[in-house]
Chain A
Amino acid sequence: MSVTELEFQAHAAESAPEQAIEGRSQWNLTWRRLLSDKMAIASIAVILVMVALAIAAPLFVSLTGHGPEQAFTNSGTTRSGAPVSPGTHGFFLGTDYIGRDLLVRTLYGARISLFVGILTTAIATVAGVAVGLVAGYFGGWVDTVLARFIDTALAFPLLVLALALAAVLGPSLAIVIAVISFFSWAGISRIVRGQTLSLKEKEYIEAARSLGAGPSRIMFIHILPNLLGPVLVLATLYIPTAVVFEATLSFLGLGIPPPTPSWGNILGEAQNYYSVAWWYVVFPAAALLVTTLAFNLLGDGIRDAMDPRTERIFAARRGRRKNKRKAATEPGALPPLTVSELGE
């Protein structure tokens, strides 16, 4: 923390005593650290843009006049029946093999991918936290049963089950969501169970029990806030995994059934056309890559921001940058002292 920041805080304390007395929560501090991480900010921006585009997909339909499942056999394909290239006849990203607008389809694919990614992660997180908390807190036979259940879920061959289910019941969005949720909760559960096992031995849990607090109060008010950090990081990293898995299933024809567009099934169709229509592969693949990368980088950023040790790194970086800027603008002025320099 630089002296300027200290001055700022002192000033804030004078002008707003109420605020100075209110302690900063762990979330507040994490959020502040996250905001000083450029990569995390960029990731958040990318994710927000992607979400905005997915929400605005119908707007693009009305702008272009191309429905997501509407085939334009005349304007959308060349005379030989191949997809048209980007920018032709109002198709900004070109068309697919039967003349559907690739831009609109990719945007509708984003809806499916984000929906599946976020919904399955939400289901997995709620289920995983509940099972992990109960197993870890109650212990004994409850834990034995639930822990074996977790192990079983983790040991299941995910893809084989998905293939079997799709083969028997026919591919559908519901199956995709069910399969991904079923395989995600166990990982979260295991982390939550481990954390709960160590947290329940803390003296403040005993203090709560001595006050007469019941198991649900202890689990949800005392233990849960202490393990939300790792769960949040894990959940952020599970979203891209789910997105990729949905794409994988759809690519294999076991996920979202055509003609509903999904990044996976667009890429699956594109296999036969990439030699004549590069855009057919590049745009949906780029959307998939950018989205998963952004979620992964955001997860890393949150993990770093949760770790109090990274504060110093960011503070030092900020200080150095400030010094440089100041030295550049006022050549005569001394750079402000930082606490680290004072300590040296």
Chain B
Amino acid sequence: MSDTLPRDAAQPRPSAAETEDDVLVRVENLVKHFPVHGGGLIRRVVGQVQAVDGVSLVVRRGQTLGLVGETGCGKSTLARCIAGLIPVTSGKVTFEGRDITNLSRGAMRPFRREIQMIFQDPYGSLNPRHRVGAIIGEPFAVHKTATGAERKKAVQELMERVGLNPEHFNRFPAEFSGGQRQRIGVARALALRPKLVICDEPVSALDVSIQAQVLNLLSDLQGEFGLSYLFIAHDLEVVRHVSNDVTVMYLGRIAESGPKDQVYETARHPYTAALLSAAPAADPDAAAQRRRIILTGDVPSPINPPEGCRFHPRCPKAQDLCGEREPVLETKLGDPVTHLAACHFPLQAGEILARDAGRDRR
């Protein structure tokens, strides 16, 4: 996979120079619960889907934070909370030091220009009845920044910038391929020159060669416009390619977070290790050498998450303590302070988790 991704955009970040000025977005202890209503005439709340349950993270200026995790672990909910699309149950989101948690639509409006989203489904995220020019020009229309010929010119410049033929502004989304549609989505997100772009699985619906094109486009644009990305994906190789820092989520909580190389090379959380071992490798020799950690069972229901460590029912290293006490997200085993893991029994260097290590080899 990494062979198809030629340029590595992510530069190592000197952690010593870290200041508060670097922080673009800070999420503190964010909680988002969705009420579950019972049947019957009176809609009683019978439970809460704990989609996001106490997540803190930081997106730094000009950098990319990768957010990985299984389907249903709360990645997209977190993204929507940060973008102000859904109200937050508790916790705080600050953008450049200003609190943007649960702002009214009017108060959020100036921040909409700074925070944009690129969506997963290039088919669903473009209105089929609107022409491409109208779709890319919509940010200008909503924020009343450019009209008429000026808007058309801006739209065509954007189309050119993302690699679309500017002559095609009169076409409908149905007349474009998936990759081109995603470029339309990128152009729309860039129209207002945002500072933060939240990419919600922007390439997972595209085939691999197109993924590389879109990822390269995103990294070029990052350099050109000084964008910061919150990059959500379940493809670990994609996240590795684009990110400076990586955060791994499991069932609404952060399992592990830290600089990309730290997390990928010395994963401390068994869940991170299992995810990494499940990612397909392009090199067949390496693939044969690898030992997959096969997790048993399904992700538990977020309505009724397990006590203690949320991962313990599926964890190969779980002990009694894991079901009793919730692990704190902290630095483990002499890692740098930026590398955090929430585990009572973090993995040692060289520790092999695969239970049936011998039999799993093909």
Contact = CB atoms under 8 A, between A and B. Distances in A.
Interface of A: 17, 21-26, 202-204, 206-214, 217, 222, 225-226
Contacts of A203: 119-121, 124-125
A226 B173 CA distance: 14
B18 to A, nearest CB: 29
A214 B105 contact: yes
Contact of A204 (B83, B120, B126, B131): B126
Contacts, number: 77
B245 to A, nearest CB: 23
Given A22-B171, A206-B85, A212-B108, A225 B119 contact: no
Given A203-B125, A211-B139, A225-B129, A23 B175 contact: yes
A8 to B, nearest CB: 18
A17 B167 CA distance: 10
By DSSP majority rule, is chain A's interface helix, strand, loop, or mixed? helix
Instruction: State the 4 A-B residue pairs at the shortest beta-carbon distance, nearest first.
Output: A23-B171, A212-B112, A203-B124, A225-B129
A225 B83 CA distance: 26
Nearest to A212: B112
A203 to B, nearest CB: 4
B138 A211 contact: yes
Contact of B168 (A21, A202, A213): A21
Contacts of A206: 80, 85, 117, 119, 125
Contacts of B172: 23-26
Nearest to B105: A214
23 contacts: A21-B171, A22-B171, A23-B171, A23-B174, A23-B175, A25-B131, A204-B124, A204-B127, A206-B85, A207-B185, A208-B127, A208-B142, A209-B85, A210-B112, A211-B112, A211-B138, A211-B143, A212-B108, A222-B127, A222-B130, A225-B130, A226-B128, A226-B129
By DSSP majority rule, is chain B's interface helix, strand, loop, or mixed? mixed
A210 B188 CA distance: 11
Nearest to B79: A210
Interface of B: 80, 83, 85, 105, 108-109, 112-113, 115-117, 119-121, 124-131, 138-139, 142-143, 167-168, 170-172, 174-175, 185, 188
Contacts of B174: 23
A208 B171 CA distance: 19
Counting chain B CB atoms within 10 Å of each CB, the highest count among A23, A204, A208 belongs to A204
A209 B119 CA distance: 12
A295 B317 CA distance: 72
B142 A217 contact: yes
Contacts of A204: 124-127
A100 B121 CA distance: 68
B182 to A, nearest CB: 12
Contact of B85 (A17, A26, A210, A214): A210
Nearest to A214: B105
A210 B116 CA distance: 7
Counting chain B CB atoms within 10 Å of each CB, the highest count among A202, A212, A225 belongs to A212
B258 to A, nearest CB: 29
Contact of A21 (B80, B83, B120, B167): B167
A331 to B, nearest CB: 41
A256 B242 CA distance: 74
Nearest to B140: A211
B175 to A, nearest CB: 5
A195 to B, nearest CB: 13
Contacts of B113: 212
Given A26-B129, A212-B109, A207 B119 contact: yes
B242 to A, nearest CB: 21
A210 B191 CA distance: 13
Nearest to A226: B129
A203 B119 CA distance: 8
Nearest to A208: B138
Nearest to B116: A210
B170 A213 contact: no
Contacts of A26: 128-129, 172
A207 B171 contact: no
A228 B264 CA distance: 51
B124 A202 contact: yes
Nearest to A201: B124
Contacts of B121: 203
A237 B129 CA distance: 24
A142 to B, nearest CB: 15
Nearest to A26: B129
A60 B219 CA distance: 75
A200 to B, nearest CB: 12
Contacts of A207: 117, 119, 125-126, 185, 188
A121 to B, nearest CB: 23
Contact of B117 (A21, A202, A210, A225): A210
A28 to B, nearest CB: 10
B135 to A, nearest CB: 8
Nearest to B191: A211
Contacts of A23: 131, 170-172, 174-175
A140 B219 CA distance: 42
